[in-house]
Structures are given as structure tokens and as C-alpha cells.
Amino acid sequence: MAAGFVEFEITLRVDVFSGSVHESSAADFGTLGISFRARRPHDQEEWEAAVAALTCEVPTWPTSPLLKR
């Protein structure tokens, strides 16, 4: 079985730089701290199903100033 995880989920987004000396530069880049969870698949069949269901959509939030078009 390939090394990978299923049911990956970002559970929390936090502005961890608020109030710090680097607050303005972090805000310029849209930097956030995150908490996430995921688990190993139970078997090869579950892993293959998870890979088949993958999409390559890019979320539009948060917007980084580096990604201006």
C-alpha cells in the first residue's frame, strides 16, 4: 500500500501572527496557522477509492497577494 492518508481535513484556521512583531508581513502573505487531521487507510481498496476521488481544484480562500493575475 502506498504511504498516504485519507479523510484529510483542516479543522481550524487561526491568525497566529496577530499581535506579533511579524504581524504585518504575515498578513501581507495571508499566513495562517492550521490544525488538521487525517488517518491511514484501512486497506488497499480504501486507498484506491480515495485516490480515484481526488480533485485538483484550487481553493480561492485565502487570497495571497503573490497570486494576483
Domain ranges for the chain, please list them: 6-52
Confidence bin at 3 (pLDDT 50/70/90): low
The model carries a pTM of 0.54
Q: Buried (b) or exposed (e) across 1-33, using 16+ Cβ within 10 A?
A: eeeeeeeeeeeeeeeebeeeeeeeebeeeeeee
pLDDT of 68 higher than 70: no
How confident is the model over 50-65, as pLDDT tens digits? 988 887 776 666 655 6
How confident is the model over 10-46, as pLDDT tens digits? 999 888 888 888 778 878 888 888 999 999 999 999 9
Per-residue pLDDT, 1? 46
Per-residue pLDDT, 39? 94
